Structure 1
Amino acid sequence: MSPEAAAARPVDGAGQRGTLIAVVGPSGAGKDSLMAYARERLGGDPAVLFVRRVITRPATVAAEDHDTLPIDSFLAWQAAGSFAVTWQAHGLHYAIPASVHRHLAAGGVAVVNGSRAALPAIRTAFGRVMVIQVTCRPEILAARLAARSREDPQTQQARLARTVAAVETGADVVEIDNSGDLAISGRAFLAAVRRYMNDGRLENR
Structure 2
Amino acid sequence: MLDVSADPRDAQAKNQAKGEPQGVLIVVVGPSGAGKDSLISFVRQRLAADTAFLFVRRIVTRRADGATEDHDFLTPEAFAAATSEGCFAVTWEAHGLHYGLPTSAAVHVRAGGVAIANGSRAALPDILASFDHVAVVHVTARPEVLARRLAARGREDTESIEARLRRNPPDTEKNGMWIEIDNSGELVDSGETLLAIVRQLSQRAP
TM-score by length of 1: 0.85
Aligned residue number for residue 57 of structure 1? 62
Q: Which runs of 5+ in 2 are unaligned?
A: 1-7
Residues 60, 73 of structure 2: 8 Å contact kept: yes
Across the aligned residues of Structure 1 and Structure 2, the Cα RMSD in angstroms comes to 2.1
- AA in 2 matched with 1:125: S
Counting only pairs closer than 5 Å after superposition, residues 108-119 of structure 1 correspond to structure 2 as: 108-119=113-124
Counting only pairs closer than 5 Å after superposition, residues 78-97 of structure 1 correspond to structure 2 as: 78-97=83-102
Residues 26, 163 of structure 1: 8 Å contact kept: no
- AA in 2 matched with 1:62: A
Aligned residue number for residue 159 of structure 2? 154
Residues 28, 141 of structure 1: 8 Å contact kept: yes
Counting only pairs closer than 5 Å after superposition, residues 41-190 of structure 1 correspond to structure 2 as: 41-162=46-167, 169-190=174-195
Measured after TM superposition, the shift of residue 171 of structure 1 is 4.8
Change over 3 Å in CA distance of 1:166–1:200 after alignment to 2: closer
Match of residue 32, structure 1, among 37, 43, 66: 37
CA distance in 2, matches of 1:102, 1:67: 19
Match of residue 191, structure 1, among 189, 196, 200: 196
Change over 3 Å in CA distance of 1:69–1:163 after alignment to 2: same
CA distance in 2, matches of 1:143, 1:164: 19
Measured after TM superposition, the shift of residue 144 of structure 1 is 1.5
Residues 49, 110 of structure 1: 8 Å contact kept: yes
- Provide the secondary structure at the position in 2 that maps to 1:198: helix
Measured after TM superposition, the shift of residue 164 of structure 1 is 6.0
Change over 3 Å in CA distance of 1:128–1:67 after alignment to 2: same
- Provide the secondary structure at the position in 2 that maps to 1:134: strand
Residues 106, 200 of structure 1: 8 Å contact kept: no
Residues 19, 128 of structure 1: 8 Å contact kept: yes
Q: Which runs of 5+ in 1 are unaligned?
A: 1-10
Which of the pair is proportionally richer in helix? 2
Q: Which moved more, 1:124-133 or 1:96-105?
A: 96-105
CA distance in 2, matches of 1:122, 1:165: 15
Change over 3 Å in CA distance of 1:23–1:199 after alignment to 2: same
Measured after TM superposition, the shift of residue 186 of structure 1 is 0.8
CA distance in 1, matches of 2:108, 2:161: 37
Measured after TM superposition, the shift of residue 58 of structure 1 is 2.0
Residues 89, 101 of structure 2: 8 Å contact kept: yes
Residues 52, 67 of structure 1: 8 Å contact kept: yes
